[in-house]
Chain A
């Protein structure tokens, strides 16, 4: 079973910030939180990852709560091309670094 829970779908207006939540209440101290997205008919694309500090890159920001039981992916200025399924994943340390994929959040950016 996936170790994360996400809302099944979200809408966001183009140009606004998209905030995607993820709960991972059973996360272990040495497990990282990864975010990927999958645009229709393409392979998943890495977005960002973090352990306990907030992270930012050219694509997004990742905010992890102090207790590490939840996180939020922020797309600061969403465009129509950001419409995709977004997956929040906790990396399993002891299984060849296997990723356990949940159902993800279908993010729809509306003009």
Chain B
């Protein structure tokens, strides 16, 4: 299955600033997924990113706040814009494991703290 490199692994940021998280996959994948995991909570899907098209955002998430780039089949970025302490979470990228029925592989996550 695919191997994902996600960085940074953690960061502490000032409110009002932005952070860009990178996700690199060792093989070409059609769809990449970005999740948020708030402290003590389960995972929530932010958006699905397909190469060559606009990302599809889930309810409650907007492009202005979480712009996503997908320049090729192995790379994606998620930006958390104009951060507030409520954005403090773990952000995870994910890709299909090989075939759609075989589940997903996740990156190790980016632990973001906004102060």
- Taking Cβ atoms with an 8 Å cutoff, the residues of A that contact B are 2, 32, 34, 36, 41-46, 49, 87, 96-99, 101-104
Contacts and interface: CB of A to CB of B under 8 A. Distances in A.
Contact of B100 (A2, A36, A97, A101): A97
A46 B42 contact: no
Contact of B108 (A43, A87, A97, A102): A43
Given A46-B97, A46-B103, A98 B108 contact: no
B48 A43 contact: no
Q: For this complex, into which size category does the number of interface residues on chain B fall?
A: 20 to 34
B6 to A, nearest CB: 8
A41 B100 CA distance: 26
Contacts, number: 50
Nearest to A100: B45
Contact of A98 (B1, B45, B97, B111): B45
Main secondary structure of the interface of A (DSSP, over half): loop
A44 B43 CA distance: 9
A103 B42 contact: yes
B40 to A, nearest CB: 10
A59 B48 CA distance: 29
Contacts of B101: 32, 49
B102 A49 contact: yes
A32 B33 CA distance: 19
A3 to B, nearest CB: 13
Nearest to A36: B103
B68 interface: no
B48 A96 contact: yes
24 contacts: A2-B42, A32-B101, A34-B103, A41-B111, A42-B109, A43-B92, A43-B94, A43-B107, A44-B43, A44-B92, A44-B106, A45-B106, A46-B1, A46-B97, A46-B102, A46-B104, A49-B102, A87-B42, A96-B31, A98-B33, A98-B48, A98-B58, A99-B104, A101-B43
